[in-house]
Amino acid sequence: MIEMRGAAVELSEARLLTFYEWMLTGRVLETSLLEAEAAERGGFRHPGLGQEAAQVGLASALDDGDVLAPGHRDLLASLVHGVTLEEALLDIFGKAAGPSRGRRATGAALLSRGILGVGGDTAEAVAVAVGAALAFWCRGEARVALALCGEGTAASGAWHEAVNAAAVLGLPVVFGVENNQFAYTRPNEGVSRLAYTAHRADGYGIPGIVVDGNDVLEVYAATREAVERARAGEGPSLVEAVTFRHAGHNTADAADYVDAETRRSWLARDPLPRYEEYLGSRGLLDEMRRGHLEERVGSRVARTVEWARRQPDPDPRAGAPAVLLPDEAPFPAGAGPAVTLGEALARALDEEMGRDPAVVVLGPDAGAAGGGHGIARGLRDRYGPRRVVDFPCSGPGLAGAAVGAAHFGLRPVVEMPAGHLPAALSLLAAHSVGSDDPAPVVLRVPCGPGPDAEWDPADLGALARRAGLTVVAPATAAAAKGMLAAAIRAGGPVAFLEPVSLYGGAAVPLPPGDYEVPAGRARVARAGDGVTVAAWGAGVGAALEAAEEAAAQGVSVEVIDLQTLAPLDAAAVLASVERTGRLVVADDALSGGVGADVVALVAQDGFWHLDAPVRRVAPPALLPLSSGENAGPLPAAILAAVVSLANT
């Protein structure tokens, strides 16, 4: 039995020696990788030399079934929690047989073993870990997530959102901060006015403790106590392990900003010699045994590094898997009750929650208010607060929680304010898009034109160009209900753009029964043979209005409702242009919008079908509020473009 800060922990002699072997493995492995990095380009960028005690103590506190969210410097912690040395090295060297198939040097997610992948901003990984804990909380499981990062990451907004949300909801998560003295080149006083990150815990209303990060037993004792507290339903804790990184922030950093006295002082507290001395005092380690362990660990590391280096590289021509479009099917005829688009979305949410208990609704004000526009109103009363979760943030903390919850069995439907979409895109790309385990998350994004619909049309172009992300935009109530059902049942992330101006529009009959409108297929909203108008969302109504006016002037207009902005239904657009020879794109913006992709498609694959130049129609980039104009394609502008092309 050892006493650490008042906490008693019983560890067997075998466990004490296991800690040592892990620490030795981390030191030998990273030293070898730094030598390999100097000799050839590899994927080892963020050494954790000197932090072995912190990483082993933190990760060892978890049980099988718990989840680890490592940071980019936590190679050793990942090994402790279940990543094999072979898997880690295959990814580091970018090999085809690695878990990420050569796409992530810092490691792919191995969800079956409770490892969340490292990608993008480390604070985002903390938010994803909170999502895993949310899944455990929603299902009442006695499982815990451990999220690791450095003290520099703890100064970010995403980290704050994640910790605050976990504290408010009482989620089973432990936040481990490895304070290695420098956030890249900035010392601690350049990151926070507080001496320690754990001192912020009071502000979140959770326990926080500072431990000697170079003492593996002290780190383990504190983390184990926090893990058991979380498992017992007492909510999150913050454990800060104060340590020192021996190398620079990355392999290109000489760390010459660390003064000689600071370095000398910390190196005198090197965690390996300290632990060796402790084991020696217990009669568990002598020179002969240490030499044997060093030989065994060194031999295995060298052998595995050399093996991994020789494995085949991935084929650079192998990109993301092709998107398979569904078979064409007639749109179901309306025969049910007449509803607005907003009511259709509410019906779809209710039906999907009733059909599948894994479907949960997350978002600010999701409970009593039913979200910012009331679409989910009444669902919390019907399904309870662990199926409709009032989430206390709306930025990357919310997006990360949705991804983490999806990785561990839930199907989150998140109302994401459009202004927070760029941060959500970054997080989705790092932790889901392009992964072998894409997260089945639906981001419902109320967007313009319309009241209370913050929206930068340039964001739409960026959204539609995220490989692996499906982006849909319904234009009718019938499409909205079927498309939301299909999105919730889909196997990957979907951005579901909801035109706020249509929420309370004209009521139309819904098709009867349960139906889906699968992504990837455009709809011919109006047939014609003179000019094609491609539009989406609220722009479809404007295009139909313009087409009616054009018909009165003798111009036949075909309106294509794209419905899915990514992947575009190229075949439908090109077939229409082949019929008409002319194209008008009703866009949200002339710079960076989705219309640019439609125009590029036709220029590349349909140029010889064109009888006139393509025209794009969009409102001015900035409209004053006093103008009274909707910030979307206007029927008059579409009509003018159509008539002009028809006479060309």
Set out the domains of the chain in order of their start, with CATH numbers: 2-310 (3.40.50.970), 338-509 (3.40.50.970), 524-646 (3.40.50.920)
Residue 437 DSSP code:
S
Q: Which residues of the chain have pLDDT under 70?
A: 1-9, 37-42, 105, 107, 119-121, 317-334, 430, 432-436, 449-462, 464-467, 620-632
**Non-local CB neighbours of 346 within 8 Å, separated by 6+ positions:** 375, 376, 377
Three-state DSSP at 125 gives helix
Judge whether 537 and 474 are in contact, CB under 8 Å. Answer: yes
Q: First vs last Cα of the chain: how many Å apart? A: 89
DSSP assignment of 188-212: GGGT-SSS-GGGGHHHHTS-EEEEE
d(C-alpha 114, C-alpha 106), whole Å: 16
pLDDT at 20: 98
What does the longest C-alpha to C-alpha distance in the chain come to? 98
pLDDT at 103: 75
d(C-alpha 420, C-alpha 409), whole Å: 25
pLDDT in tens, 140-181: 999 999 999 999 999 988 899 999 999 999 999 999 999 999
pLDDT at 177: 97
pLDDT at 341: 96
Q: 134: exposed, middle or buried (C-beta count within 10 Å: 0-12, 13-18, 19+)?
A: buried
pTM of the model: 0.91
Strands of 23-139, DSSP E: 67-69
The DSSP bridge pattern shows strands 182-183 and 186-187 to be antiparallel
pLDDT at 171: 98
